[in-house]
Amino acid sequence: MDTMYLTALVVAGAVYVIASILLFLFGANLTALSLTTIRRGAAFRSALRQRQTDADQASETKVIDLTESLPSDLPMVTIQLPIYNELYVATNVISSVAKLDYPKERFEIQVLDDSTDLTTSLVASLVEELHREGIDIVHVRRDDRSGYKAGALAHGLKTAKGELVAIFDADFVCPSDYLNQTVGYFCDPKLAFVQARWGHSNRNYSWLTKLQSLAIDGHFMVEQMARGLKGYWFNFNGTAGIWRASAITDAGGWTADTLTEDLDLSYRAHLCGWHGTYLPDIEVPGEVPAQMSSFRRQQHRWARGSLECARKLLPMVWRSTANRSVKFQATAHLVAYGVHLLLLTMALVYPLVVLAIAHFEALNSLYGVGYALAVSSLAPAVFFITGQRQLGRPVWRQLPLMLAMITFGSGLMLNTARAALQIRTKPSPEFERTAKFGISENQAEAGDWKHKRYQLELDRIVYFEALLGFYTAFTVWLAFDHRNWGIVIYGSIFTLGLLAIVIVTVAQAISVRRSEVVRSRKIELERQEILLPTTK
């Protein structure tokens, strides 16, 4: 047998074993977090609710929860609303924070508007109206978009009056009692931030929004909760949270050297001795992307940003005085998107692994190792089930959705690989926003998102995803021919995930192109409705 061929088979086998071990560790840790939430989550949430109930009963004014631990003067809160070209949702978030059940003299609103379209006119009109009603609100414009969202937040912080800073992205709607339920936790002098749970205003809009909602629920009801329960470091999620202004400054402020400024600042705060609190029973609804291209872009940004933070922060994490379990969990958290890179590695070496096992009987043990470690593939199912159970939703009805999410998620492996590669090849990327269309669960009320602006061009990565999908399909055929049933199963999952993403992306792109005439008419009508009243 050719020496080079033999070497390739041996190397493929070694890569397969190493990737299997790493995937097993990721899966085992995810399962451990799920079990922590199952064991302690209910008691934790019950204690939080009881604390709020007791404080509410003790409060005569009913102005704020947890007043027993608050100073006599309520803290001043600055509410920052970073906005960039959010025509369909910007007014909703501004209106919602203006209705907060908190003394008007104790909060201000900063609309940090970097928009380059009609959003600015719409926002300016609403800000002026609210200002006349006695709301302390300012419309902040910058000369350029330097630093993107991080730059806007840092710019607003220079003039912020509040000792606390609440942040809401444009597609979120703030509950009226949000401050009443959260600011009391800052009686803890070392608390840097409070994070509420994301809800989903358009969860049932489409199967794509259902899948995303399922995954986000798992993150908040398993990962965030378990890390909080165990005292591990976790992050502010960029919106629906409150920061102590002095903690932001102490941690070095907002920086734009990663695409996930929220994760970056959170870990720098932990390294400075601060900590966060996660409040799972406070839900702030936001919109999840209905367009596959927007979802892909969002995942690309999150993946790249997380890996950038890992490269930047892990050396500091391991030099810190935190205990080893905290350091291990911080590492697992920051490199979590590495799972997709491992799945891609497995997909690429599977054919050689099949051939190696077929040619060398002694390598059958390799096959056995793969089966032994494959138990980690159950971790995502446990993760999703736990998240839905914590929210009190019927699990069995959603099992098909969970299986679809596991398959669909594997199809993002190439998207994540590109994000990791661009850390080196494209070191200073532009912050690409995730397009939101003001979609609710009622499709009739929401309208067709394809008839609105902010449409994205077809991402050329779909061609490579299609090629990889056919490659994994070949793997399935090869594994079936050699009766390697494990690789048949996993190869099939990869194939279905990749081709499903390709088909949906292309189908939506075609539909968007066909809607171009209608969209142009509606965009012109929007322009007239927004601009004409101001030119009379």
Q: What is the mean pLDDT of residues 90-109?
A: 96
Q: Is residue 535 part of a domain?
A: no
| pLDDT on residue 65 | 47
Q: Name the active-site residue from 65, 114, 171, 459.
A: 114
Lowest mean pLDDT of 184-198, 289-303, 321-335, 421-435, name the range: 421-435
Q: Is residue 349 part of a domain?
A: yes
Query: Do 230 and 367 belong together in one domain?
Result: no
3-state secondary structure of 137: strand
Distance spanning both ends of the chain, measured CA to CA: 84
CB count within 10 Å of CB 249 equals 10
Nearest to 432 by CA among 299, 336, 320, 322: 299
Token pair for 155? 């710019």
Query: Do 15 and 133 belong together in one domain?
Result: no
d(CA 165, CA 269): 15
| pLDDT on residue 47 | 63
Q: Round the CA-based radius of gyration of the chain to a whole number and report it.
A: 25
Confidence category of residue 529, pLDDT binned at 50, 70, 90:
confident
Q: Name the active-site residue from 113, 171, 217, 262.
A: 262
Write the pLDDT tens digit of every residue in 467-526. Answer: 999 999 999 999 999 888 888 999 999 999 999 999 999 999 999 999 999 999 989 888
Lowest mean pLDDT of 242-256, 295-309, 327-341, 481-495, name the range: 481-495
Write the pLDDT tens digit of every residue in 13-48. Answer: 889 888 988 999 999 999 999 999 998 767 766 666
For 228, the domain range is: 73-318
Residue 298 has pLDDT above 60, yes or no: yes
Residue 350 has pLDDT above 50, yes or no: yes
| pLDDT on residue 72 | 52
| pLDDT on residue 374 | 66
Q: What is the mean pLDDT of residues 427-446?
A: 76
d(CA 45, CA 383): 18
Query: Do 290 and 349 belong together in one domain?
Result: no
Nearest to 268 by CA among 225, 325, 315: 315
At 239, the amino acid letter reads T
Query: Do 123 and 264 belong together in one domain?
Result: yes
Q: Mean pLDDT in the chain? A: 89
73 is catalytic: no
Q: What is the mean pLDDT of residues 106-114?
A: 97
3-state secondary structure of 387: helix
Q: What is the mean pLDDT of residues 445-457?
A: 83
pTM of the model: 0.91
| pLDDT on residue 484 | 86
Residue 360 has pLDDT above 90, yes or no: no
d(CA 75, CA 20): 51
Residue 217 has pLDDT above 50, yes or no: yes
Query: Do 275 and 393 belong together in one domain?
Result: no
Residue 446 has pLDDT above 70, yes or no: no
Write the pLDDT tens digit of every residue in 111-158. Answer: 999 999 999 999 999 999 999 999 999 999 998 999 999 999 999 999
Tally of domains in the chain: 2
| pLDDT on residue 3 | 77
Query: Do 269 and 374 belong together in one domain?
Result: no
| pLDDT on residue 225 | 93
d(CA 401, CA 48): 31
Q: Is residue 525 part of a domain?
A: no
For 262, residues 6+ apart whose C-beta sits below 8 A from its C-beta are: 235, 236, 237, 238
Residue 68 has pLDDT above 60, yes or no: no
Q: What is the mean pLDDT of residues 305-325?
A: 97
| pLDDT on residue 237 | 97
| pLDDT on residue 361 | 64
Confidence category of residue 429, pLDDT binned at 50, 70, 90:
confident
Torsion of CA 406, 407, 413, 414, to 10 degrees: -150
| pLDDT on residue 57 | 55
262 is catalytic: yes
Q: Is residue 125 part of a domain?
A: yes
d(CA 324, CA 51): 32
For residue 1, with 0-12 CB atoms within 10 Å meaning exposed, 13-18 middle and 19 or more buried, which class applies?
A: exposed
More confident residue, 378 or 276: 276
Q: Is residue 326 part of a domain?
A: no
Residue finishing a domain among 259, 289, 318: 318
Query: Do 177 and 276 belong together in one domain?
Result: yes
**Percentage of residues in the chain having pLDDT higher than 70:** 89
Query: Do 277 and 309 belong together in one domain?
Result: yes
Query: Do 288 and 210 belong together in one domain?
Result: yes
Query: Do 355 and 474 belong together in one domain?
Result: yes
Q: Is residue 392 part of a domain?
A: yes
CATH no. for residue 283?
A: 3.90.550.10
Query: Do 293 and 342 belong together in one domain?
Result: no
Q: Is residue 50 part of a domain?
A: no
Query: Do 209 and 84 belong together in one domain?
Result: yes
| pLDDT on residue 483 | 87
Contacts by 231-234, CB closer than 8 A, 24 or more apart = 231/326, 232/325, 232/326, 232/329, 232/330, 232/333, 233/266, 233/267, 233/270, 233/275, 233/322, 233/326, 233/329, 233/330, 233/333, 234/195, 234/266, 234/276, 234/278, 234/333
More confident residue, 16 or 54: 16
Main-chain dihedrals φ then ψ at residue 324, nearest 5 degrees: -65, -35
Beta bridge partners of 108: 78
Q: Is residue 143 part of a domain?
A: yes
| pLDDT on residue 235 | 97
